[in-house]
Structure 1
Amino acid sequence: MKPSTPSLILFFVTSVLAIIFKLLGYGSLVLIVKSVIIPSLFIYYLVSNDYKITFLKAFIFLLFFVRDVFVMLSISESAMGSFMSVLVVYVLLTYLAIKDFTQLKFSLKDSFYAVVLIIGIATICYSVLNLKLENLELNFYLYVVFGLILSVLSIITVLNYIKNNTYASFSAMLMCINFIISDIFFVLYKFYFYNYLLTLISLITQFLSYFFMVRYFLEKDRKTENLNDY
């Protein structure tokens, strides 16, 4: 067994437990087991990467953990705290994605894929934000900014995968797809109409987005390490 395996097993076990507790209606237990998910993934990443981590990636893990803490506290500042934590994560991930993006060369033919992708994601974002959302916890325009940043991140990661078909770019693309699905279904059940299935889908895709984010980090680190060996 690899040294990182126990923490990965802990991640999957706590994720499954969170889903089961959600099905059974044990909301407090869901919050408790969710608080273990990010730390377990952090340990998995750290051990898998020979205990090396950049400040930016450590900060991303911290922000996701802070988001879960805000949700657990359920205080008046929780909505803004959790919102800003995830927003900053998306900004930092966009920064990482742009670094990959600028190293690629695109042809005129690639512009067709870019246009289709932009139209598709923009349509999804507009459709969700154009719903008659009720009891919004924050200013509507904050959600617009949130959607725009996530859209930019998703567009860049998909284009990176199209031009650079690697496991790292594939993981980044899956990470963003799960971010989008999780956030869309969160908005739907939170501010449009409550449905148990929507909450489960949002929860499952949230956990998957964490997993693929870590895989993206690990693959990028391995690629950087291999380049440094030459």
Structure 2
Amino acid sequence: MKIRTLIKILLLITGGLCVLSTILQNPAIELYSKPMTVPLFFMLYWFNVKKVDTLFVIVLFLCFMGDIFLLTGIENGFRYVLLSYTLCYFILFYFLFKNHKPLDYGKIDLIYLGVFFIVWTIIVYEIYAVTNEAMGDIRPFGIVYIIILYFLLIGAVFQYVNIRSPKSLWFAIAVLNFIISDTCFALDKFYVPSLELKIINSIYQLLAVFFLVKFKISSANSLKIKTQQFV
């Protein structure tokens, strides 16, 4: 069995335990299984690219710390969660700008992007409208967090339509999964507590990091191809 296949199997097991923890409403399972996913995601990345991107490792660490702050229930933990993921998303903006290419949209592209922009703006406003009052004293942090995610998905989608490369696709999917996860978490915490929302959050949170790893692997593969072309 290839090491990468083994890592994926272990990720399925640990990820399944995290989701099972949510279903059974037993945080202790996730508290012990979630830390295992971080080195596994790193190993999946490492065995594919054979090098370390410091910023990407920081992103993995920030995602892990955000989860730990929630699971341990420390005082003001939710503020630290927002801070961890805010820093994570700022780094994703760096990856977004790093992969920027000159804009080259056709008329159909502009129509699709226009529809996406309007729909996405309405969705974000509705999420804010139903969670705004319940945020209480963390509302300023919540608003900044929502704005960051709002522009991050716009950037990711606009970049994919412009480039249409595998790495831009994986990046857009990763950002979308982060947003689905965060939206379910916000709705569960500030609007309607729901086990279903907790389960969806747990699933998409893991998928977001997995697709982010796929993005970094695709980025490394693209660089290898370009290097070989010039040799």
TM-score, normalized by length of structure 1? 0.91
1:174 deviates by: 1.2
Match of 1:106 in 2: 104
Task: Verify: 1:33 aligned to 2:29, yes or no.
Answer: no
1:75 deviates by: 0.9
Match of 2:218 in 1: 219
CA distance in 2, matches of 1:69, 1:147: 21
1:138 deviates by: 5.2
Q: Does the 8 Å contact 2:132/2:139 carry over to 1?
A: no
SS of the residue 1:159 aligns to: helix
For residues 75-133 of structure 1, the C-alpha deviation after alignment (integer angstroms, 9 at most, x for no partner) is: 113212121111111111112112223x1322462443333222222211111111155
1:184 deviates by: 0.8
SS of the residue 1:104 aligns to: coil
CA distance in 2, matches of 1:32, 1:138: 31
CA distance in 1, matches of 2:103, 2:154: 16
Task: Verify: 1:75 aligned to 2:94, yes or no.
Answer: no
1:217 deviates by: 0.8
1:177 deviates by: 1.5
For residues 15-39 of structure 1, the C-alpha deviation after alignment (integer angstroms, 9 at most, x for no partner) is: 1112122222222112221222222
Task: Verify: 1:57 aligned to 2:80, yes or no.
Answer: no
Q: Does the 8 Å contact 1:79/1:138 carry over to 2?
A: no
**Paired residue total:** 228
SS of the residue 2:104 aligns to: coil
Unpaired segments ≥5 residues, structure 2: none
Match of 1:93 in 2: 92
Q: Does the 8 Å contact 2:14/2:37 carry over to 1?
A: yes
Task: Verify: 1:117 aligned to 2:132, yes or no.
Answer: no
CA distance in 1, matches of 2:203, 2:136: 23
The CA RMSD measured in Å over matched residues stands at 1.8
CA distance in 2, matches of 1:218, 1:108: 29
For residues 169-228 of structure 1, the C-alpha deviation after alignment (integer angstroms, 9 at most, x for no partner) is: 221121122111111110111111111111111111111111111001100111122222
1:168 deviates by: 1.3
TM-score, normalized by length of structure 2? 0.90
CA distance in 1, matches of 2:49, 2:193: 41
The one-letter amino acid of 1:221's match is: A
Q: 1:26 to 1:164 in 2, by over 3 A?
A: same
Give identity over the alignment, percent. 26
Task: Verify: 1:6 aligned to 2:14, yes or no.
Answer: no
1:137 deviates by: 6.8
Unpaired segments ≥5 residues, structure 1: none
SS of the residue 1:130 aligns to: helix
CA distance in 1, matches of 2:137, 2:225: 45
CA distance in 2, matches of 1:10, 1:135: 38
Which one has the bigger helix percentage?
2
The one-letter amino acid of 2:44's match is: Y
SS of the residue 1:4 aligns to: helix
Q: 1:62 to 1:226 in 2, by over 3 A?
A: same
The one-letter amino acid of 1:42's match is: F
Match of 1:210 in 2: 209
SS of the residue 1:45 aligns to: helix
Higher relative contact order (CA 8 A, sep 6+): 2
Return structure 1 stretches of 4+ with deviation > 4 angstroms. Answer: 132-135
